[in-house]
Amino acid sequence: MRIASEPSYGEFCTIGVWRNEDCRKVVRSSFQSTISHKTRDDVTRDLERYGGICDCQQTKDSVIYAASCHISGVEQVLKLIADTVLRPTISSEEFSLAKEVVRSNIQAINMKPEPEELLTDLIHMAAYRDNTLGLPKICPSENLDKIDVSMLYAYMKTYFTPARMVAASIGVDHDRFVEATKQCFEDSPPIWEQNRGLLPDHMPSIDESVSQYTGGLMEKDLSNVGLAINPFPELVHFALGFESCGYKDEDFVPFCVLNSLMGGGKGMYTRLYLNVLNLHHWLYNATSYNMIYSDSGLFYIYTSAEPSKVSTDANIVADFKEELSRAKIQLQSMLLMNLEQRPVMFEDVARQVLGHGYRKSPLDYVEEINKVSATDIHRIAERLLSSSPAVVGYGTLRKLPDYEKIQKSIAKRDVSHLRPQKFYAFS
């Protein structure tokens, strides 16, 4: 198990464990009863004693257990985290509640007027069809009833191993944190080692699959769904993505600069604001995303428009140019400002040590950002467009262009195929 720390000022610290692989049911069952804490209330009382708060979050490829507390409670709070990770006693009541929370979240996600989380899942499913990153992050409702407590313990035993975890701290003396980590994680074995009866007869093997980018189309046509009385406009949501790179790739920083250059729908000087939203009043949203993982990445643009404009929407998204120096400064500013927060610094330290085995300083990244040239941006744009497009359509899709048309336009760097045909009548 790797241990990393970073000094910080103040009397409070952030500590926790970062683990690769993810499981939403494990996240929903976290910080509940453990060997040392009979109920969630006991966990809360121990945290409050040191002015602490805890959190467990999941991404496509990792799970984070973290807490912020007064430095006087480092050992006690780290013990709480270690018990949550390695020694949970998942009662049937807690398990049933976790299932209902997941079920409720799924319903809420599907009912949101802005389906951004759903679109993120769909674009990954289109880009990595039926493998690794393309498997749904949002648990299919029909799978919930197939999961039992023994399956959770089997998953934990398989994936909660020292090689897959990093313990990190911000604002704690390194030697003190190393000693506390040894005591909390080594002195007492995991609960599945203490009680083998918790595990099923058949144990799953570790999945070491490498992500395979495929590209493709995912559609969810809602044209037959009535809006009834609804204060929200009827929108069609469209996403167009391409394979970028993993965080170990030499083009990692240039892709981050490209994402900053494209920007979101609220950035005053980003390309999507100046060249898309400013010029096309019927577009409600246009935002770029750069999702980076260990062995691959996905760069995509997500837009929302009226259903009648979806073909024009696809045409605009496929036709963009670059503007550089301001994007580099914005990226550097965002990097440095975010790292002023302890939880963000914790995430940065833990993720880098888990992925690279070491941590690059922010100033190293600032220097790399400065070196990115217009030539680099053109080169990675060509690399981006050389992959098969991943396309998502969500809403009323009668006017969505065929996938083959989109693919042909990208391959030829000519979006004229996507423009809606205009017919004029002369009397």
Kindly report the CATH number assigned to the domain that includes residue 100. 3.30.830.10
Q: How far is CA 65 from CA 18, 19, 77, 260, in A?
A: 6, 8, 11, 29
* Burial tier of 58 (Cβ tally within 10 Å: 0-12, 13-18, 19+): middle
Per the domain annotation, does 92 fall within a domain?
yes
> Both 392 and 278 in a single domain?
yes
Per the domain annotation, does 336 fall within a domain?
no
pLDDT at 273: 82
Of 198, 233, 250, which one is at a domain's C-terminal end? 198
Give, as one character, the DSSP assignment of residue 223. T
> Both 110 and 181 in a single domain?
yes
Q: CA-CA distance, 238 to 221, in Å (whole number)?
A: 12
- Three-state DSSP state, 58: strand
> Both 183 and 233 in a single domain?
no
Contact 245, 296 (CB under 8 A): yes
Per the domain annotation, does 285 fall within a domain?
yes
pLDDT at 322: 46
Domain boundaries, position 252: 216-324+372-415
> Both 73 and 131 in a single domain?
yes
Domain count of the fold of the chain? 2
> Both 73 and 171 in a single domain?
yes
> Both 162 and 260 in a single domain?
no
> Both 162 and 16 in a single domain?
yes
Of 198, 230, 245, which one is at a domain's C-terminal end? 198
Per-residue pLDDT of the chain (427 residues; tens, 9 = 90+): 999 999 998 999 999 999 887 555 555 667 788 999 888 899 999 999 999 999 988 888 889 999 999 999 999 999 999 999 999 998 889 889 888 988 998 999 888 878 889 999 999 999 999 999 999 988 888 888 888 999 989 988 998 899 999 999 999 999 999 999 999 999 889 999 999 999 998 888 888 888 999 999 999 888 776 555 555 567 889 999 999 999 999 999 999 999 998 876 455 677 788 778 888 888 888 899 999 999 999 999 999 887 766 666 566 555 444 468 888 998 999 999 999 999 999 999 999 999 999 999 999 999 999 999 989 999 999 999 999 999 999 988 888 888 998 898 888 887 776 666 554 444 4
Tokens found for residue 139: 């648990």
> Both 170 and 233 in a single domain?
no
Q: CA-CA distance, 63 to 83, in Å (whole number)?
A: 15
